[in-house]
Amino acid sequence: MQSLVILISGRGSNMQALLEARRHNDRIVVISSNPQAIGLSIAGQYGVETAALDHRDFPDRQSFDAALAEIIDRYRPKLIALAGFMRILSDSFVQRHHQRLMNIHPSLLPAFPGLGTHARALQEGVKIHGCTVHFVTSQLDHGPVVIQAAVPVFPDDTETTLAARVLQQEHRIFPQAVRWFMEDRIRWIANRIEIIDPPCGGTELISPGLTK
């Protein structure tokens, strides 16, 4: 049985999308940096094992990351999925789990890394916005891209309406990327990701296309 660890800090809507799309032969563990995170109770409703490690109990990022790594290592995960995990990981943590850390980001990277992506997209007047699943590296939001999905930006969009449209696509592509990894269909070529037997793309502006 393969293990998947999902890291959250809040409600974890992307975590819920992963749980709904999970493969039944995988063991899933949800770990939160916030013991009061709503996502922990949601995960419990799916019968998933949970754990919490309050980052406020640690004097610095390095000590928190070291304790988090110890908990994660108990489960020997094949993949660690960051689903709304609101912590910047230390270099030592990233290197310890090299090529096993996957994140979902609400922009078409490398555009708009960091926070406030939807407001910045509107401010810049872009016509297409979206989301990216990528591997985590020491450089924030600049790891190799696995899959992206794009949405149109309408003239009357607000930050809220645009965020909702992007979130729908996050819930589609993150489970797809995780499934590819768990099925050994992701291959690293230098700093680029190749999908083994990718599905045929359509006209929905998702690359690579989703499995039907």
Span 65-113, pLDDT tens digits = 999 999 999 999 999 999 999 888 999 999 999 999 999 999 999 999 9
**pLDDT classification of 205: cutoffs 50, 70, 90:** low
**pLDDT classification of 211: cutoffs 50, 70, 90:** low
- Let me know if the fold of 1-97 is the same as that of 105-212: yes
Domain boundaries, the chain: 1-97, 105-212
CATH number 3.40.50.170 is the correct assignment for the domain at 105-212: yes
Per-residue HEC secondary structure of the chain comes to CEEEEEEECCCCHHHHHHHHCCCCCEEEEEEECCCCCHHHHHHHHCCCEEEECCHHHCCCHHHHHHHHHHHHHHCCCCEEEECCCCCCCCHHHHHHCCCCEEEEECCCCCCCCCCCHHHHHHHHCCCEEEEEEEECCCCCCCCCEEEEEEEECCCCCCHHHHHHHHHHHHHHHHHHHHHHHHCCCEEEECCEEEECCCCCCCCCCEECCCCC
Q: What pLDDT, on a 0 to 100 scale, did the predictor assign at position 69? A: 96
Fold entry, domain 1-97: Rossmann fold (3.40.50)
pLDDT tens, 151-168? Answer: 999 999 999 999 999 999
pLDDT tens, 174-183? Answer: 999 999 999 9
Catalytic residues: 105
The whole-chain average pLDDT of the chain stands at 92
